[in-house]
Amino acid sequence: MNRFFIYLIKRLYIKLDSALPSHESKNICGNCYKCCTAAARQKVSSLEEDYINHFLKEKGFPSSLMEEYEKFLSLRLNLYNSSARDILCPFYTKEKKNCFIYPVRPYSCRIYGNYAIAVEDLPEKCAYRKLVSLYNEKNLIKVIPCSEDYASIAALYKVYIKYLTFIGRLFYKS
Ligand code: SF4
Ligand code: SF4
């Protein structure tokens, strides 16, 4: 993965983590892991998917894990597949009750619970229901830290990938 984008996403996560409310550092979730199932419908950018893949390769994890994660992400975004709701993210370990890609977990996982459009968007027993800050389309940038930077970096990465694909096709043709 391109080093410049690794630098950008790492820097963004550091900035975001320091801007999140301080209860983020305490374990207020207890035994709950609902937001690590397909019931939570957060999106993940292609930049973050590639960054996670880079992390897995670096740590020597099998590539099948990334394939499982991609399947999980597509299940998570399928609003009509209610039978998939309990499927767990392949990076969550029930035994240790943690996310084993925690340092590189996506933006949406980092902000989950702290920000939502409506309290009802969080699971019924979510401890963050009492702490959540609500946002809407108009105030999103003001309310959610680093949201503008995140959108810009993710968009820039998409352009970069398109450019690489274009160049690749040119070489393939010649
Ligand atoms: S990446 Fe980690 S924090 Fe995010 S859903 Fe998966 S296990 Fe949970
Ligand atoms: S943020 Fe809410 S839904 Fe997610 S693990 Fe914590 S309590 Fe459960």
H-helix segments, the chain = 3-19, 46-59, 64-76, 107-111, 140-143, 147-173
Residue 77's pLDDT band (cuts 50, 70, 90): confident
Identify the residue whose C-alpha is closest to ligand 2 atom 2.
126
Domain boundaries, the chain: 3-173
Ligand 2 atom nearest to CA at 123? 3
Q: 38 near 87, Cβ under 8 Å?
A: yes
Whether ligand 2 lies within 6 angstroms of the CB of 32 is answered as: yes
Cβ count near 160 (within 10 Å) = 14
Whether ligand 2 lies within 6 angstroms of the CB of 97 is answered as: no
Cα–Cα distance measured from residue 9 to residue 153, given in angstroms and rounded to the nearest whole number: 8
Look at residue 82 in the predicted model and tell me its pLDDT. 67
Pairing of strands 92-93, 98-99: antiparallel
Look at residue 27 in the predicted model and tell me its pLDDT. 78
- Listed in sequence order, the residues at least 6 apart from 25 whose beta carbon sits closer than 8 Å to its beta carbon are none
Q: Smallest Cα–Cα separation from 114: which of 18, 23, 51?
A: 23
What would the pLDDT profile of 8-18 be if each residue is shown by its tens digit? 999 999 999 99
Report the percentage of the chain scoring pLDDT > 90: 67
Q: 103 near 6, Cβ under 8 Å?
A: no
Q: pTM of the full predicted structure?
A: 0.89
